[in-house]
Structure 1
Amino acid sequence: MSYTYSHYATPSSLPSDYALLSRYAGAHDMNPTEQDNEVLPDRGASSGLQLDDSDAQHISHTKMRRKSLPTSYVTPSNTTAASLPDNSGYRTVPMASSATENTPLLAPPIPRIEEEVDAQYAVEPERLAPMRWEELKILTKYTLPVFGTHVLEYSLVIASVVSIGHLSTNALAASTLGSMTASVSGFSIIQGFASTLDTMLPSAWTSTQPQLVGLWSQRMAVVMAAVLMPVFFIWFNSESILLLLGQEPEVAYLAAVYLKWSTIGLPAYTFNSISRRYFQSQGLFTVPTRAILCVAPINAVLNYLLVWGPEPIRLGFIGAPIATAISFNLISIASIIYGVFFVPHTAWHPLSRRSFTSLGVLVQLGLAGVGQTASEWWSWELVGLAASMLGPVALATQSVLLVSASTTFQAPFALSVATSVRIGNLLGEENAKRAGVASQVSILMSLCIGLVWSTMFMVFRHSWAYLFNNDPDVVSLVASIIPLVALFQVFDGVAAITSGILRARGKQVTGALLNLSAYYVIGIPFGIWLTFKRHMQLHGLWIGLTISLVYCATVGVWICLRTNWEREVQKVRDRLVAEAQHYKDSFRDPEGLN
């Protein structure tokens, strides 16, 4: 399958098979009586689907039209419903066994993440001003646990660095080099591919086929298994690669040891990236937070025991990566237990050979997601490399500024995750108007968050560096660059939110091109020119980074504000039609490999 891309002018940026279905669907209009005669695929195993050739032609040559939103929240009267507990956060949904040949194939979607506003706008018109306030409260509620998740996950890495940092200078350098190599060659790739689920899962959950959440998660696990093979190869051969890049032999050896032991936790890290989105797409934002909250103190104890603990269990340098790997695996186990025993299985799809189908969609979007995510990660490594050439004071200053900016970035990044989920859910519910409002509100929220961080940096401008270092030269240089960091906060937050909106829409290609052009065509070359040709030193690098984010934020906002949200809803419909067609094929081919 080919990947169709345009600058928001064509009906879809999703794979061409979906676009083709959309063009077929536009051939004829569907009247209400025809819509009622469509067929719903069984939500159990591949059996139970009753589609014949006439039904298939009906799907292919009719344009799906929906009724107004209020009727979208009524359980079809010709199905038997199973009510989940009132406190589960789920709506009443049709049972799989109730599907008959008279059940609509793409029946009106059900808001399975139920908010107070659902009941309200089901019976009365939505007004713009109250809608903005409602979305502000919803996004805030979603963002807080996501922020906690990322901060706690960051603590796993910090604990490793702190425990190793007291061993020796070479050990600290090696762990830093190993962590950087792991980020560039592994973690950024995994996160890029996992970002595809930000497109697929939220809209699937609130659609008429919630089991697609589990199916797409299984398919992503298959794709990730293939992605991990070259990552393992790089990590196990990292010593020769680092030596080839000019690293000191001892540091390269220790960094390679660090990476080899880190491979124990790599599959778990990958699984966690998938399971986190599996839960978040269902509105279960606190599940990953609870899992990491339980594991974080265990990780701290493991780092102490394995690096500095009693002689029988002390492992020294390798204890830190082993502790982190064990922690990642504990998080995976906790997620599995929670998903099996404490979460309704509405989103789960039975394991089958269908998990090995439609992988091309995920690969194409995943590669674009790597371009969007990894390009930004890699740019910071390039800037750090350039800073290391300016001397120890500049390098220490860069470390202070980088840690500071990375910490404050966690808030808008959490908001971007919440925004992706919220917009995806609304698209699945076919609420185009509210999806547009949510995107606008999230951008305004990012501006407010950026202004708070900017104010904080400016207020503590002359004393900020003392949190990290007492060197007067470092303190002075940090104070002189802080105004750039303060300006940086506003545009960094807005760029993060627009990236989340693009992921929700399946526009990873657009996000990748935006980041690549911002960092590698504009920002970094200009910053390096200012640094080394205009002799602006570290100031030049941060000016370049700030210009990159001004460009990203400005263009991203322009793109997001021009979004046709009705078209985005249609793209979700096209995905459902494609999956319905696949259900038909599975019925004819029990192996599900057509």
Structure 2
Amino acid sequence: IILTIAAVPISLAWWYSEGILRILGQEHDLAKASASYIRALIPGLFFYAWNVCLTAYLQSQRITRPAALAGVVAAVMHFPANVVFIHTLGLGYVGAGLATSWSNGVVLCLNVLYASWFKRDEPGRETWPGFSVRAATTEWRPFLRLALPGILMMSEWWASEANILLAGLLPDPEYNVAAVSIFQVTNALAFMVPVGFSVAVSTRCANELGARRPAHARFASRVAFSLILAVEFIVSALLLAVKKHWGRLYTNDERIVRLVSALLVPLA
């Protein structure tokens, strides 16, 4: 309920994003195109919010494989979904946004299917006795006490996304926005590696702390930190190795390719 309420003002801001972008100094055509794409993401916002709740419910029981498999299935199906929405239906870049929303819906449906059907014969099904209005409308304060600092922790990601807006204020905004958008997609891809570790270690630490084993939780966090350093070193090396060619996966414009190559250096 809380995440749905939070998604409502966000979706309204997305729906009227053209005016917001114009106020922030973006060119008319760029703001209009961006708003059309952002509106297509609104269904996916709600799918994502609901899936966050369901994933947390499963992770609290040390059940992480279904969410991982759902993500893999959605990733595999995302490419044909883009082909259908962008080319077959002729929706262009708006179709890319709809494909993203569709993929979020696939992940949600698969997790719901597992939680409501396949898990019914497993021990622990009684972990959720059913929906209760009273239970769902109490204890909001402890939840928000943890959630609000978590929002501030994500402000780093907001700063990164703000680079796209700043790129739109530079000369030749179409080139700069395209290059920074590719940079941001690559940034998100690299960011998924530590996110995966964080999901695993947060679940492990939460269970260890719940079992009153703080030493085990501390050890798990240190192991995860070491693994993240090692894996991210490899990711950085790969980014530097492919920086001159990475942009060609997205465009044939050599100017944008050169800009992407330059941006991948600080990312690495």
Q: Same fold (TM over 0.5)?
A: yes
Question: Which residue identity does 2:219 align to in structure 1?
Answer: V
Secondary structure class of the residue paired with 1:412 = helix
Contact 2:247 2:260 in 1 (8 A): no
- Superposed, which structure 2 residues align to 1:255-294 within 5 Å? 255-294=34-73
| Residue 252 in structure 1 maps to residue 31 in structure 2 | yes
Distance, in Å, in 1 between the alignment partners of 2:53 and 2:25 is 36
1:427 matches 2:209: yes
Instruction: Detail structure 1 runs of 4+ shifted over 6 Å in the superposition.
Output: 393-397
Letter in 2 for 1:323: A
Looking at structure 2, the residues matched to 287 and 348 of structure 1 have their Cα atoms a distance apart, in angstroms, of: 18
The letter for the 1-side match of 2:142 is V
1:306–1:339: structure 2 CA closer, same or farther, 3 Å change rule? same
Q: Which residue of 1 aligns with 2:15?
A: 236
1:128-167 aligned within 5 A: none
Structure-2 change in CA distance of 1:438 and 1:478 (3 Å)? same
Does the aligned pair in 1 maintain the 2:41–2:98 contact within 8 Å? yes
Match of 1:336 in 2: 112
Q: Where does structure 1 lack aligned partners over 5 or more consecutive residues?
A: 1-221, 487-594
* Pair 1:300 & 2:79 matched: yes
Trace 1:129-528 onto structure 2 (pairs within 5 A): 222-309=1-88, 313-343=89-119, 344=122, 345-352=125-132, 353-373=134-154, 375-386=155-166, 398=180, 401-457=183-239, 460=241, 464-469=243-248, 471=254, 475=258, 478=261, 482=265, 484-486=266-268
Amino acid corresponding to residue 322 of structure 1 in structure 2: L
- C-alpha change, 1:318 and 1:480, in structure 2 (3 Å) is closer
| 1:83 corresponds to | none
TM-score under structure 1 length normalisation: 0.39
CA–CA distance in 2 between the matches of 1:349 and 1:446? Answer: 38
Deviation at residue 388 of structure 1 after TM alignment: 5.5
Larger % of helix: which?
Answer: 2
Moved more, 292-301 or 261-270: 292-301
Task: Say which structure, 1 or 2, has more relative contact order (CA 8 Å, 6+ apart).
Answer: 1
- For residues 402 and 320 of structure 1, do their structure 2 counterparts lie closer, same or farther at Cα, with a shift above 3 Å needed? closer
Deviation at 1:401, TM superposition (A): 5.0
In 1, the alpha carbon distance for the partners of 2:267 and 2:92 equals: 37
Is the Cα–Cα contact under 8 Å of residues 232 and 263 in structure 1 kept in the other structure?
yes
Distance 1:318 1:454, change over 3 A: closer
Per-residue CA deviations over 1:214-233 (Å, capped at 9, x if unaligned) read xxxxxxxx211221221132
The separation in 1 between residues aligned to 2:30 and 2:145, in whole angstroms, is 37
Larger radius of gyration between Structure 1 and Structure 2:
1
| Equivalent-residue separation in structure 1 for 2:96 and 2:247 (angstroms) | 22
Post-superposition Cα deviations, 1:179-224, rounded to whole Å, max 9, x if no partner, equal xxxxxxxxxxxxxxxxxxxxxxxxxxxxxxxxxxxxxxxxxxx211
Deviation string for 1:89-129 (max 9, x for gaps)?
A: xxxxxxxxxxxxxxxxxxxxxxxxxxxxxxxxxxxxxxxxx
**Contact 1:427 1:435 survives alignment (8 Å):** yes
CA distance, structure 1, for counterparts of residue 158 and residue 152 of structure 2: 10
| Equivalent-residue separation in structure 2 for 1:480 and 1:240 (angstroms) | 29
Structure 2: how far apart are the matches of 1:282 and 1:467?
40
Q: Residues of 2 paired with 1:340 and 1:247: CA distance?
A: 46
1:408 maps to a residue whose letter is A
Would you say the 8 A contact 1:307–1:318 is kept in 2? Answer: yes
What SS is found at the alignment partner of 2:41? helix
Retained in 2: the 8 A contact 1:223–1:363? no
1-structure distance, mates of 2:33, 2:177? 22
User: Which amino acid letter does the alignment assign opposite residue 105 of structure 2?
Assistant: N
